[in-house]
Chain A
Amino acid sequence: MTDDVIATRARALAGALAESGFARLRVRDGETEIELRRAPRIGPAAVVLAPAALAGEPDRAAERPADRAELVSSDVVGIVRLMRPAIAEGQELEGDREVAYVETLGIRNPVRSRGRGRVSAVFVTDGQPVEYGQPLFSIER
């Protein structure tokens, strides 16, 4: 599978995981395995997408940072505000910065990029209401 296909499939699975109530979901398709885990809800939540070659050693492969994409979700109910310059698909993030915040009753809940990476998807637009656990972006590390 190409990276794009993996990313698309992982996004669909992330939705399924969120609905299932399970903590972890692993799907195998030929050579590819996608594993999603619910991150502990401390700060903006992240789901780890780990495409890994079944032929190799999946666990070790999953730990390779270059292969990881992180789903950044909202931890609160509020209105999402994108920081400028607004985060966009394909953008390279240099380091940790506040890419957005979710406003809840006038309180800013920052959403940080938490390190380098490439933005693989942006799921929200500026000013959009979001609920708890709603995916905001995915970042490939």
Chain B
Amino acid sequence: MFRKVLIANRGEIALRINRACHELGIATVAIFSDADRQSLHVRHADEAFCVGPGPVARSYLNIPNIISAALISGCDAIHPGYGFLAENARFAEIAADHGLTFIGPKPSVIAAMGDKATAKRIMREAGVPTTPGSDIVASADEALAVAHQIGFPVLLKATAGGGGKGMRAVAAAADLPTAFATAQAEAEASFKDGRMYVEKLLVNPRHIEVQVIADEHGGAAHLGERDCSVQKPSHQKLIEEASAPALDPELRDRLHAVAVKATRAVGYTNAGTLEFLVSGDEFYFMEMNTRIQVEHPVTELIYGVDLVKEQIRIAAGEPLGFTQEDLHPHGHAIEVRVNAEDPDNNFSPAAGTLTTVVFPGGPGIRVDTHVYGGAVVPPFYDSLLAKIVAVGRSRESAILRMERALGETRIEGVKTTVEFCREVLANEEFRAGGIGVGWLPAFLARRAAVVS
């Protein structure tokens, strides 16, 4: 086992990793920026190094300073958390070159899964369903042939596209030629590249992801799925649940089986997540996240597994402490992201001083946070202030418990998502379960219409 681990992150996840290390008897080294000098993750760690000024490019992404801090302090491993350098294959390689164990999968696997086209191809070859579509099509006629084959609606996409440019949704064959011409012209004008391809358009799919874990000795297992369909218009997750409500048991089994098969096929080690879009009784691979995820606590609460400790044990070369047969979910868990954002203003992030901070407690509530009364929210980083997680015997009891917990929560000084999330929890469609990723944007539009 490691003696000392450098935590290459900040915020709640840095604290989460610090806790896991201390429970395993491992000393910790924090890194921080000038703006985070007073942060809780710095105080909880055994040692701490300032690695740069506030802006992330010069601090939390400053590879030489981070590796140097790990070497100076005598660390034997680095935990990257999520975001920042967590899915940076080069960072993982550099760490290894300096004799530091990167707590995550192999750099080659990080790189392969980081490239969307490569990941999709590898998964398709491994027998994982991917969104039906074509390679580059030469003409509108060819696009039409593909569309007939995969079925409408379809998405015409410029291979060089981005920001919605060179992209058109097409509902029926009659609309395709015009849409193809305008999208292609737009792509040529914007990117000087008019190459187009066709993809099946999924209407309001659900975002369901499967947590997997694998050791370096061939052991691999899934820890069920999470439903992350409550997403802001920017596609950022806001509320997550485990298990997914209103999911056909047969479809659930297929998702789990495919995820484990894919994990083995790509030679994956450590904790990872396969994200799928679910539409009707079909599912399609979207991407694989080669790190611990923000929403991992909902899985931990129903499976009774400490995923961060498992990550550390696996990186240290230990085999999984369980097999698939040992893993059984109990109850239902739900997570609400408390962000320093204004839900009435497109979730624009806010910075400032938190004048009042009161978090909930009591049975079945877990709060992962790095903030406290008087803490400053710097403008440089992610707006996540806290994750409030509720667990109950059923989805209904978990939701009731979460409503109670959000009622106890008081955060003043910046606008937060707390009250907005209470509105979502109270909504009948949300309560019914099984909503798609289009639900929250539609809810926001209806809400704005009522307000005005």
A interface with B by C-beta (< 8 Å)? 18-19, 21, 41, 76-79, 104-105, 107, 129, 131-134
Contact = CB atoms under 8 A, between A and B. Distances in A.
Contacts of B374: none
B67 A105 contact: yes
A129 B59 CA distance: 18
Interface stretch (B46-54, B291-299, B428-436): B46-54
B50 A132 contact: yes
Contacts of B50: 77, 131-134
B118 interface: no
Interface stretch (B32-40, B102-110, B403-411): B32-40
* Chain B CB within 10 A, most for which of A19, A76, A77: A77
13 contacts: A21-B34, A21-B35, A41-B53, A41-B58, A77-B64, A78-B68, A105-B64, A105-B68, A129-B72, A132-B49, A132-B52, A132-B65, A133-B53
A78 B67 CA distance: 10
B137 interface: no
A104 B68 contact: yes
Contacts of A41: 53, 58
Contact of A131 (B49, B64, B71, B378): B49
Interface string B63-76: 01111110111000
Contacts of B378: 21
A133 B64 contact: no
Contacts of A107: 64
Given A131-B51, A132-B52, A133-B34, A21 B376 contact: yes
Interface residues of B, number: 24
B98 interface: yes
Contacts of A78: 68, 72
A129 B71 CA distance: 10
Contact of B69 (A18, A21, A131, A133): A131
A77 B64 CA distance: 8
B38 A19 contact: yes
Contacts of B65: 76-77, 104, 132
Interface in B65-96: 65-69, 71-73
A129 B70 CA distance: 11
* Chain B CB within 10 A, most for which of A41, A104, A107: A104
Contacts of B49: 77, 131-132
B38 A76 contact: no
A77 B376 contact: no
Given A41-B53, A131-B51, A132-B50, A19 B68 contact: no
B53 A76 contact: no
Contacts of A77: 49-51, 64-66, 68-69, 72
Contacts of A18: 34, 37
B333 to A, nearest CB: 37
Interface string B370-384: 000000101000000
A72 B101 CA distance: 34
Given A21-B376, A77-B49, A77-B65, 10 more contacts: A41-B58, A77-B51, A77-B72, A78-B72, A105-B67, A105-B68, A107-B64, A131-B69, A132-B51, A133-B34
